[in-house]
Structure 1
Amino acid sequence: MTGWSAVAGTHAFVVPGEEQARALAEDLAAYGFALVTARPARQAAGWAVMAFDEGPYPPDAAGHRSIDAVGRQAAAVARRHGGYPDGGSRCDPSLLERIRPTGAPIEHTNPGARPPVPDIVIGEAPPPASLTLAPDQVRDVPIDLSGLDEIAWADLEHVHGPADDVPDLVRALADPYGDWESTLDELFGDDLLHQGTCYTATAPALPFLTRMIVSGALPAKQRLDLHVWLLIAAGRRAEGLLVDADRAAVEHRPPTVDEMVRQVHYTVGAQLPVLLARWDSEPAAIRYALACLTALYPHHAHPIAEHIADMAAQFDGTQPGAYLNLAHALVRSQDDQALSIATDIVGWEPDHNPALLDAPHVPAAVKASYILTEGALRVLSTTP
């Protein structure tokens, strides 16, 4: 998977203070890590504790799953000390010594030790299936961008600061014969959803994507690209709740996301009725994206719930079919079934992070919707 001879890495945690850091470092060393260090955290309140996992683990999917599973077990130890996971690293074992910190005020060594490694079985993935973009109909009609200049974009922000360049980028995007991919990547991949982060300008820009889609002026591939960005935007809420879950648990509060993420999630949901009205006229790849997007907003699902079931049956036994079954369970509010399907998917899709299924105090539907969103995006990335 990586070209490494084997896999090693680190597991990082944050605890409230020095007393907890000393206790956690001692417990992690006793658990089997050959080296554990702790020092005051640089980017969070409290102390940072790092366990060095020498492995070695095989450099394949099972190996990566194994070191991740060890990290999940270490996280359970950290929770007993009021700690939460804070990332880590993966590398070739030969590189591990290079990232060993110097001068850490707390250090425990346990030479030759290795933490227990659970048995990992990667399930057999169902086969892929083609999601077509045909037939397609395109009309030579203008795209309604009215109101674009009435928004105070200069008072809003994206990753680079004031968002006063957004109107020109939106207009460039509305030209189906322009530099489509570069413009779309600049507008959303770089500016408005940079590395998945939402900004004050993100939500106000999203309705213009919907106008481009429903105008009928864009070819199917470009409409699909816009659906993908709507799905990415809508998925930030579930991801944010899962990322915050461990820290929220030790701080005795529910997981939260910031107001910009909430606004983005709400704004995408508000676009759904007009997008779903095009279900019958869209090709399979776009219907698939719509099905997965609708699963994040079950209250909008009534018009197409049975269509999602029919599409899931059509793709039964394939990877798109698995995610459509998950989408159908979510739109039917069968949350436990959705989580069960999501867990099965995680068993055969190594790119999913099983640790997120352990997130405390996060509803089953949120966990399942995250697995759906990430998996749906992977499936759509293979659409010609």
Structure 2
Amino acid sequence: MAGWSAMAGTHEFVVPDETHARELTQALAAYGFPVVKARPSDGDGWRVTVLDEGPYPVDALGHRQIEAVARAAARIARQHSGYARGGTRCDVSQLTVLRGPDAPYVSTNPGARPPIPTITVVAPPAPAPLALTPDEAQARPVDLPGLDDIPWAELEHAHGSAEDVPELLHTLATSPADDWDEILDELFGDDLLHQGTCYSATAPALPFLTHMIVSGTLPARQRLDLCVWLLLASGRWAGSLLADADAALVQGRRPEPAGWTEEVHRTVGEQLPALLTRWEAEPSAVRYVLACLAGLHPHHGRRFGAQVDAMVREFRGTGPGAYLLLADALVDGRDDQAFALATDITAWEDGLDPGWLDAAGVTVAVKAGHVLAEGALRALNVE
């Protein structure tokens, strides 16, 4: 966004057929959007594209305003059997490009602008450093029993066969610190969790991360990295449910998780008891991520509720403390409080969509847990 003078964008919606597309273009133009277009979408009904000329300021307030307008448009789309499918954000100088080619249906309202909801920008709580010391790890290679017993060649990741996964895991367990980040990014960023997508090889790989963490042979920085990937992996289940919530509502069904995300979430939960045995030995940065994992898996994390509660008191009034408080509420099953805490967090944490908390067909705990999974790492300020 460097160099942007002001922000504009588009909002995209999918409707089942031509009749709904025509009606929705008219409704959105009447709401105040200057140009709304509809065209057939291959295998996906009709796509309605809304031009939102703004201008919005290029700051946190501007992003919250355009996202609030997008949510208002989504509510109109739901009245016409439509659901949101993304959009774009750009400098206002790109408006000509955003208008794009003509479409079968075009509704215009020149000079109009949709109502801008009043947004109150809330100051975030103070940051707080999380320590990686003390650390008593004894650096030595980690054995990974059972690694070769898994039929990796029959599984897949983002780039095809997962037959290279055991070598990457073995290399990760034995690699010097200089190669650690590169190998870990290849294994998860490129292959097993590419762009947040789970694959058939993702869940089988996760227990080996746990084995590396609990072995006590990796330094705290590396244990933290592995815990972070477990948190990211576990959070994809709730994220995919929320992503499907709008479509499920208009199609009269329950939200469905994306492929393999449920298995990945369950697998991380199964690792949690072993991970939590490390609680007393871990520095605060690692315990922070473990507490967040406990919040996502309260069935397994509940017996460590007292430890999470103690960490809440330690970091009360800070950014990490806000997420720890949310994790603590989820661990204890206080879902209404968790929802309220998640609502508060979305008011000050940029990049977290308040619309997640409005999703239909998804439990309160899942919504609040998604805020935890998506936001907690933003507060992970390691010293």
Alignment TM-score, normalising by the size of structure 2: 0.97
Q: Which runs of 5+ in 1 are unaligned?
A: none
- Contact 1:143–1:174, Cα closer than 8 Å, also in 2: yes
Equivalent position of 2:306 in the other structure: 306
Separation of aligned partners in 2, 1:383 and 1:238: 26
Equivalent position of 2:20 in the other structure: 20
Equivalent position of 1:107 in the other structure: 106
- Contact 1:335–1:364, Cα closer than 8 Å, also in 2: yes
Q: Percent identity?
A: 58
Equivalent position of 1:233 in the other structure: 233
Separation of aligned partners in 1, 2:192 and 2:173: 17
- Contact 2:127–2:320, Cα closer than 8 Å, also in 1: yes
Separation of aligned partners in 1, 2:139 and 2:88: 51
Report deviation, 1:142: 4.7
* Residues 36-75 of structure 1 aligned to structure 2 (within 5 Å): 36-42=36-42, 44-75=43-74
Report deviation, 1:60: 1.0
State whether structure 2 residue 253 is matched by structure 1 residue 253: yes
Equivalent position of 1:365 in the other structure: 365
Report deviation, 1:378: 1.6
Separation of aligned partners in 1, 2:124 and 2:237: 27
Opposite residue 364 of structure 2, the aligned amino acid is A
SS at match of 1:235: helix
Separation of aligned partners in 2, 1:89 and 1:185: 27
Equivalent position of 1:169 in the other structure: 168
Opposite residue 192 of structure 2, the aligned amino acid is L
SS at match of 1:104: coil
Equivalent position of 1:269 in the other structure: 269
State whether structure 2 residue 322 is matched by structure 1 residue 322: yes
Deviations 1:199-236 (A, max 9, x none): 11111110110110011110000000000000001000
SS at match of 2:119: coil
SS at match of 1:4: coil
Separation of aligned partners in 2, 1:206 and 1:332: 26
Q: Which stretch has the larger CA shift, 219-228 or 2-11?
A: 2-11
Separation of aligned partners in 2, 1:259 and 1:84: 20
Report deviation, 1:141: 5.0
- Contact 1:129–1:318, Cα closer than 8 Å, also in 2: yes
Opposite residue 165 of structure 2, the aligned amino acid is V
- Contact 1:142–1:215, Cα closer than 8 Å, also in 2: no
- Contact 2:295–2:328, Cα closer than 8 Å, also in 1: yes
Deviations 1:344-366 (A, max 9, x none): 01101122112212211111111
Separation of aligned partners in 1, 2:378 and 2:135: 23
Separation of aligned partners in 1, 2:155 and 2:362: 31
Deviations 1:80-118 (A, max 9, x none): 000000101111111021122213000011110011111
Opposite residue 312 of structure 2, the aligned amino acid is A
Separation of aligned partners in 1, 2:141 and 2:106: 66
Report deviation, 1:304: 1.2
Equivalent position of 1:335 in the other structure: 335
Alignment TM-score, normalising by the size of structure 1: 0.97
Equivalent position of 1:213 in the other structure: 213
Across the aligned residues of Structure 1 and Structure 2, the Cα RMSD in angstroms comes to 1.2
Separation of aligned partners in 1, 2:89 and 2:152: 41
Q: Does the C-alpha gap of structure 1 residues 86 and 259 become closer, same or farther in structure 2, counting only changes over 3 Å? A: closer
